[in-house]
Structure 1
């Protein structure tokens, strides 16, 4: 195990190095930047700022300077926000993580329960409703679901706030602050759960249909085990094995998948900050965010391989 992890860490470093060069080059070669697009600055001031921030230097020289600073924990300075990139990440990333981790947990929990029951009751009315619902959830765009639920639950019924993380002018602390955050995050969590529920439910359903036809499932039933124990103890564990490969995509999806949702619900997360920075061409922040997604991707892939081996020791690393 230790030898495998050591080799994978070396591969991860090589992949991240190549990814950093690619990401930095793509943003650096994109026409325009925050300084050149700022109409309030005079040509002389623009030239001065480009000289100060090293934007006139050759591409490779700028990359090596950025990489040297990144290895020391400095991912650059956001020109639009006038704040170091890591400081902005620390301010916004935890809000995105809170929103994403709750929705991911709810998605997997509901998908497992519905997928197992749909597979057990294959071709029943429940299975038909599940399949129709999953295809509908996969087909409807995220912005439409978000705006529709805002119209129904926030505007018409007034059950939930339409956006934000706290009420305007709120000074709540302690449990009152926690209740307010939960109240505001309920609507975006519902939308993110619905968006991920369709494909994951179909995945668990198809896996369970294959597993419950195996001989060892018939043997477990012949031993007199309850159907609940057969499904959720014997069959589900093996049906989860292919789903473990999805873990590698869950970490980057925690932040990359909520970009539009955070914008719709005005949630103060890293996704909304990224969208704002993209419009302003704030490339230092964009490079830092893209590299964060790359790091989460390689870490998630490593975790999925290790978890697969733990779940099924027969699989060699």
Structure 2
């Protein structure tokens, strides 16, 4: 175990160093930046700001300085928001986490239950409807579903608010504030769940179909075990093994997979902040966000390896 942890720590460090270099070069070598694209500033002021923020320094020197500060927990200063990048992350990231964790839990719960039932009832009318729904959900763009839901439930039926996290001008506190947030997050959560449940249901359905044809499933049924026990205790556990590798990508997707949804619903999350910064080329914030996604990807992969070992004791961590 110690050898595995030491090796993974070494690999992780090298991967993040290479990723940080590519991320920095991607933004540093892109023509233009927040200062030069700001038409409200004079040429003298632009030159002064570029000197203050080190934008005129050689690229490699800027990268070394950025990495030194990043290791110390300083990912730079947002030129648009006029705040440190980590301060902005702390203000916005929890809103994204709230939205994403609820939709992820719903997505996996629905996908597992529906996928198992669809596999058990293969070629039935239920399975046919699920297959049609899966391909429909995978083919419709997220912005179309989001705008359609706003038009239907917010504009026409007036059941739900069209966007935001609370009502404009609201001073609700305590339980009233919690209810208001839940009311506003129903639409974006529904859209994110709908977009994610299609492909995941198809994945679980295929895995369960492969597993229920195995000999040990026939043996479990021959022992007289109840069908739901066979499906959810024996078949599902083994069908979950390939899906565990996907958990590693769920962690970064909690914050990076809802960029369009947060923008459409005006949800004040980190994805919404990223899209705002992208349009004005606020590179310090963009680099910090992209580096955060890289770190979460590495951590998520490590967690998926550990979970795979828990789910299948035959796997050895060396």
- 1:58 maps to 58
Q: Please give the per-residue CA displacement for 1:97-116, whole angstroms capped at 9, x wherever unaligned.
A: 00000000000000000000
- 2:101 maps to 101
- 2:310 maps to 310
Q: Aligned partners of 1:46 and 1:106: how far apart in 2?
A: 49
Q: Aligned partners of 1:3 and 1:280: how far apart in 2?
A: 46
Deviation at 1:266, TM superposition (A): 0.2
- 1:274 maps to 274
Deviation at 1:148, TM superposition (A): 0.6
Matches within 5 A, 1:72-87: 72-87=72-87
Greater shift, 65-74 or 124-133, is seen at 65-74
Q: Aligned partners of 1:216 and 1:159: how far apart in 2?
A: 50
Q: Aligned partners of 1:34 and 1:79: how far apart in 2?
A: 7
Q: Does 1:26 align with 2:13?
A: no
- 2:88 maps to 88
2:57 is paired with a residue whose SS is coil
Q: Aligned partners of 1:2 and 1:162: how far apart in 2?
A: 51
Q: Does 1:145 align with 2:145?
A: yes
Q: Please give the per-residue CA displacement for 1:259-283, whole angstroms capped at 9, x wherever unaligned.
A: 0000000000000100010000000
- 1:246 maps to 246
Deviation at 1:159, TM superposition (A): 1.1
Q: Aligned partners of 2:172 and 2:217: how far apart in 1?
A: 53
Deviation at 1:56, TM superposition (A): 0.6
- 1:42 maps to 42
Q: Aligned partners of 1:73 and 1:148: how far apart in 2?
A: 41
Matches within 5 A, 1:121-270: 121-270=121-270
Q: Aligned partners of 1:118 and 1:199: how far apart in 2?
A: 14
Q: Please give the per-residue CA displacement for 1:94-150, whole angstroms capped at 9, x wherever unaligned.
A: 000000000000000000000000000000000000000000000000000001111
Superposed CA RMSD in Å reads 0.6
Deviation at 1:316, TM superposition (A): 2.1
* Number of equivalences: 317
Q: Which runs of 5+ in 2 are unaligned?
A: none
Q: Which runs of 5+ in 1 are unaligned?
A: none
Q: Aligned partners of 1:173 and 1:225: how far apart in 2?
A: 52
